[in-house]
Structure 1
Amino acid sequence: MSEEPKANPHVNSDAEARQKMVRGSAWMTAGSLFSRILGALYIIPWVLWMGSNYTQGNALYAKGYNIYSFFLLVAIGGIPSAISKQISEYNAINEYAVGQRLYKRGLLLTSAFGIVGGAIMWFGAGPIGVVFGGGDPNVIPVLRALAIALVIIPSMSLTRGFFQGYQQMAPSAISQFIEQVFRVLYMLAATFFIMKVQRGDWVKAVTQSTFAAFVGAAASLLLLGWYYYRKRPELNALAEQSDNKLAIPVWKLFKDIIVQAIPFIVVDTATTVFNLLDQATFQPMMKLAYHLDDTQINTLYAYFAFNANKLVMIIVSLASAIAVTVVPLLSESLASHNRRNIRKQLEDAIILFLFIMIPGALGMAAIAQPLNTLFYSYDQVGTLILQISAFTAIILGLFTVVSALMQGLSRNRDIIRYYLIGLLVKLIIQLPCIYLLSTAGPLVATAIGMTVASLMALYDLEVNFGIRYVRILPKVNRILMYAILTYVGARLAVFLLNLVFNEQSKTQSMLIVIVAVAVGGAIYAYFTLKSRLADMMIGSRAAGLRRKLRIK
């Protein structure tokens, strides 16, 4: 790995902290982005092989995965971030041995969580499917296929958190990508064999596609084990030179893991709980408002819960990557009582998030029509839902980042309270939004609820840590202006290319997407380099790029 742990850590300077944040974010962003892109690209052949059943298959896949995601996050959602936070705090005071004991004991705990969670999901698949799957019997085999993955993923996630505590993001990023590669390969092979060779049942194809989660997790866990074995001599050396002033009993380590993890679990499940709320309420509310049958409702549900969500999560994952990087850095500054560093890291994290997220979201909205055609089919309703999802992704990403900032600063109770208030807001406005906006209603209700929660958290950071939003406002304005220009450029490219190419063709839609992304990306790169805004993100490399591109 390129990132080496330091035996005698000191409080980071502004430049060092920013470099760590950008470098860590780069690793996590690359791993998350590549895995998300791969997780979206498989849809193209998957949809073709599923044939006319693909919308029903997408709906079933989304139902099963939303339930699985909730179980997964309850079992391990907070543990990687909690372990990362605790280990970074112990390392900051030269108690490496305690952090390593914490990891080893944590493996026992996560193994138990995985077995219990998997058993509950397997044996409770029937009643769970009735409550959250709309009574669809096809959800049961899907949940049982996913229950197997639930057994090993907690230990895999704990190991990622261990490396993140040392601010080594490469193992997490690479293992994330490997996990997705093996998952997609198995998924596509199984689907092709069932649907094209056996001419089989689409429900079986979906079931095997979800079982692929276990295959990917197993590959990732093996890779992480190899990383740990390779780094063991260095880790042992750090443990030997620790101060060893802390003597923490095993039960206390378990307690610390659980206490630290609970707030992370609650907040990490936020998006999934919002999705489960949609899953449980969309069908009855749509029947009440529009009197549609189950097949029509499943098709509409697939538009936002699977089709749009699969693509939008590519850019939301960028926010998640930033969030994972920020937690240990903030914890280190908090342990050192360095308020100046804390304030600077908070401001840098928000700017870094906006620098990536806003142009990404607006760019996806601009190319929504050819993108939706490429991955699914030419569909005006699907395009509209994807556009709305792209805009709401900014809010989802913002909540992800600000909740991580709050947790890194041990403001756990407060962020949980803000999240619950946002959830209550969504619950109240869900039916009116569905009645007025139909399929877009759940998306708008989620965006409003998470906006409320995010604004409360941002105000909390201002009051308690002195973050100065006025100071970062000029950069925010420039990012917004360049992102709007990016949107206009990409949208214009799509419009002009549609005059030449067939907008209903998948192959020609791919060409339109490639050209429009290149146009939009070039516009954003030019303005951020020319204005020196990119220097904050990529440092001295920006000057080199300006010379090569002859930008003054």
Structure 2
Amino acid sequence: MTKSLVQGAFYLTIATMLSKIIGSAFRIPLQNIAGNEVLGIFTLVYPVYMTVLILAVAGIPLAISKLISESRAIGEEENIRHIFITASLLALLFGCISFVGLLSSLDSLVVLLGGEYIRLSIIVISFSLLIAPYMAVYRGYFQGFDIMKATAVSQVIEQIVRVFFILLFAFFLVQQNQPSHIVTAGVMAGSIIGVFASFVYLRIYYTRVGPKPKEEPSQKYNWQAFKLWSKKILVLAIPICIGIITLALINLIDSLTVPTQLRAIGFDEETIPYIYGYYGRGLALVQIGVVFAQSMVIPLIPLITSALVKGEKEHTSSLTEKALSYTHLTSWPISIGLLALTIPINYAFFGDFRENAVIAILHFNALFTAFAIMTTGLLQGMNRSFHAALIVLGCAALKVILNIVFIRHFGLMGVAISTVIVYALMTIFNLVLIKNTITLKMWKRHHFIYGLSAIVMGIVVALPLYWLDLTEWTRGNTFVYLMGMILLGALIYGGMILALKGITSRELKQIPYIGKYISNGG
């Protein structure tokens, strides 16, 4: 692998990580500006949009990046122009169909999602579907040429612009004393602006400095070319689509089932979004917790695919084991740390102590969510996208059943419990399938060290809460305390894994750019 490709993958990983953090953390200031009800409506509506968007894009970016890479590798660059045109037409077609389909099903969604308060938000966010799929094609095109920088920058631009306008519109509409459903619709408009800003950047990059194929097609683009390449794109894209839809699909099922079940146990239409806002609090930080796994998936898939195509079974196993090890390394401390510090997090960031138990369970689920996302991506790289898709769909069906049963017995807590069960099962099924595909040692000594170190860290940072009464503190004091505990937790975890040799100096050196400084002690 060339140095430029390694750097490109690193840029994409960092950019994806940064954009995911920005795209998740904004829920904290949004709740503080607009309140729990707006956060609840947003948490109900946004998974609907994300699911429809993923279905509209249908894995097309990853599919065309793979087809373009293959065309370049075998010296058939004359195909690239036809691949790009076909993907653009498919993206525009799916975007328009999804836009019309979402609006035409609006009345049904209003009933399923709990009430009229979601109508305007869905209308507003649906317009993103006319831009986002076409924008995503450019990302796939650049990735096919191993140019990850364009995708990386566009992701960061999209999230910065999106979050800026979300918070700006929220602040302005709250100052105007607008009702919650109007404020949420304004928040959704920020997403449209973010997508458009990303598209403008990618289009300018493509026009000015973007890579062009060395050979142009000998024949003009026609209906036969469209049929040929659309079939190839969709054969690759549809299983990938279902694989990457994991997080959005589970959240969508919650959006569609939780309001109806909460109504069934006595909550009225006005109360549901407010109650669901507490669930949204937990999801905000869980998404930050799984950002490492999400950011690694895109650059990891082509590496594993390439190793398998070349028959490099040992290299495939090595890549898989490293990916799982890094997921252990990052997910254990994040999930245990969030669990241990749920009470100060809830008060410092959101202003009260309501539903601490629900949020704590969701925080712990960051561990299983990260592994579910990572293992689904690994299966895609091993050309087991179809089987990964079946696992996702099966777990999604189970989520529907568990939500119905558990909410009736445990209320909002039932949603959190069902979420943990579903992601844990998804992880187990994925790992079994991976082990049946390649030679894999799933549990190693250093994995145990990561888990043990995280648990010890969690106990230490949670212990002071046994004596402290945070209800007598200000939010500012609680925030300072929280930052101190996070720093202490990081020192304990890092110190333990180094002392127990959970990570070697050689592995430290392999971290791009900064590894040589860490391994040398600064």
Fold equivalence (TM over 0.5): yes
**Does 2:404 match 1:425?**
no
State the AA in 2 paired with 1:444.
Answer: I
State the AA in 2 paired with 1:372.
Answer: N
Question: 1:488-521: per-residue Cα shift (whole Å, max 9, x none)?
Answer: 343346667x56x766533223212221221112
8 Å Cα contact 1:29/1:317 also seen in 2 = no
Q: 1:213: Cα distance to partner?
A: 0.6
What residue in structure 1 maps to residue 129 of structure 2? Answer: 150
Q: Which of 475, 484, 490 is the aligned partner of 2:455?
A: 484
- With normalisation by structure 1, the TM-score equals 0.84
State the AA in 1 paired with 2:247.
Answer: T
What residue in structure 1 maps to residue 427 of structure 2? Answer: 454
**Does 2:261 match 1:278?**
no
Q: 1:83: Cα distance to partner?
A: 2.6
Q: Which of 133, 139, 143 is the aligned partner of 2:113?
A: 133
Q: 1:339: Cα distance to partner?
A: 1.9
Percent identity over the alignment?
22
What residue in structure 1 maps to residue 199 of structure 2? Answer: 221
**Does 2:375 match 1:394?**
no
Do the aligned partners of residues 293 and 141 (structure 1) sit closer, same or farther apart at CA in structure 2, a change above 3 Å counting? closer
Q: 1:38: Cα distance to partner?
A: 2.8
State the AA in 2 paired with 1:222.
Answer: V
Please give the secondary structure, in 2, of the residue aligned with 1:361. Answer: helix
Do the aligned partners of residues 430 and 194 (structure 1) sit closer, same or farther apart at CA in structure 2, a change above 3 Å counting? closer
What residue in structure 2 maps to residue 261 of structure 1? Answer: 237
Do the aligned partners of residues 295 and 548 (structure 1) sit closer, same or farther apart at CA in structure 2, a change above 3 Å counting? same
Q: 1:260: Cα distance to partner?
A: 1.0
Q: 1:182: Cα distance to partner?
A: 0.8
Do the aligned partners of residues 537 and 42 (structure 1) sit closer, same or farther apart at CA in structure 2, a change above 3 Å counting? same
Q: Which of 74, 92, 109 is the aligned partner of 2:55?
A: 74
State the AA in 2 paired with 1:370.
Answer: P
Do the aligned partners of residues 513 and 269 (structure 1) sit closer, same or farther apart at CA in structure 2, a change above 3 Å counting? same
Q: 1:538: Cα distance to partner?
A: 4.9
8 Å Cα contact 1:49/1:191 also seen in 2 = yes
**Does 2:61 match 1:56?**
no
Do the aligned partners of residues 33 and 512 (structure 1) sit closer, same or farther apart at CA in structure 2, a change above 3 Å counting? farther
Please give the secondary structure, in 2, of the residue aligned with 1:294. Answer: coil
Q: Provide structure 1 residue ranges, at least 5 long, that are not aligned to the other structure.
A: 6-19, 243-247
Question: 1:510-537: per-residue Cα shift (whole Å, max 9, x none)?
Answer: 2122212211122233334452616436
What residue in structure 1 maps to residue 221 of structure 2? Answer: none
State the AA in 2 paired with 1:281.
Answer: T
Q: 1:167: Cα distance to partner?
A: 4.3
What residue in structure 1 maps to residue 285 of structure 2? Answer: 311
**Does 2:482 match 1:513?**
yes
What residue in structure 2 maps to residue 533 of structure 1? Answer: 503
State the AA in 2 paired with 1:182.
Answer: V
Distance in 1 separating the partners of 2:300 and 2:79: 22
What residue in structure 2 maps to residue 300 of structure 1? Answer: 275
Question: 1:258-280: per-residue Cα shift (whole Å, max 9, x none)?
Answer: 11111122222233232232223
Please give the secondary structure, in 1, of the residue aligned with 2:306. Answer: helix
8 Å Cα contact 1:434/1:442 also seen in 2 = yes
State the AA in 1 paired with 2:22.
Answer: L
Please give the secondary structure, in 2, of the residue aligned with 1:140. Answer: helix
Q: Provide structure 2 residue ranges, at least 5 long, that are not aligned to the other structure.
A: 218-223
State the AA in 1 paired with 2:201.
Answer: L
Do the aligned partners of residues 532 and 298 (structure 1) sit closer, same or farther apart at CA in structure 2, a change above 3 Å counting? closer
Q: Please tell me the root mean square deviation across aligned C-alpha atoms, in Å.
A: 2.9
Q: 1:208: Cα distance to partner?
A: 0.8
Do the aligned partners of residues 374 and 168 (structure 1) sit closer, same or farther apart at CA in structure 2, a change above 3 Å counting? farther
**Does 2:162 match 1:161?**
no
* Residue-pair matches, total: 511
Which deviates more, 178-187 or 108-117?
A: 108-117
8 Å Cα contact 2:27/2:284 also seen in 1 = no
8 Å Cα contact 2:162/2:193 also seen in 1 = yes
Q: Which of 338, 341, 344 is the aligned partner of 2:315?
A: 341
8 Å Cα contact 2:82/2:225 also seen in 1 = no
State the AA in 2 paired with 1:377.
Answer: G
Q: Which of 183, 191, 203 is the aligned partner of 1:205?
A: 183
- With normalisation by structure 2, the TM-score equals 0.89
What residue in structure 2 maps to residue 117 of structure 1? Answer: 98
Q: 1:473: Cα distance to partner?
A: 1.4
Distance in 1 separating the partners of 2:291 and 2:126: 24
Do the aligned partners of residues 43 and 278 (structure 1) sit closer, same or farther apart at CA in structure 2, a change above 3 Å counting? closer
State the AA in 1 paired with 2:363.
Answer: A
Distance in 1 separating the partners of 2:300 and 2:154: 20
Please give the secondary structure, in 1, of the residue aligned with 2:267. Answer: coil
Distance in 1 separating the partners of 2:106 and 2:519: 57
Do the aligned partners of residues 150 and 170 (structure 1) sit closer, same or farther apart at CA in structure 2, a change above 3 Å counting? same
Distance in 2 separating the partners of 1:439 and 1:147: 28
**Does 2:464 match 1:474?**
no
8 Å Cα contact 2:121/2:184 also seen in 1 = yes
Distance in 2 separating the partners of 1:345 and 1:66: 31
Please give the secondary structure, in 1, of the residue aligned with 2:481. Answer: helix
State the AA in 2 paired with 1:303.
Answer: Y
What residue in structure 1 maps to residue 336 of structure 2? Answer: 362
Q: 1:317: Cα distance to partner?
A: 2.5
Q: 1:68: Cα distance to partner?
A: 0.9
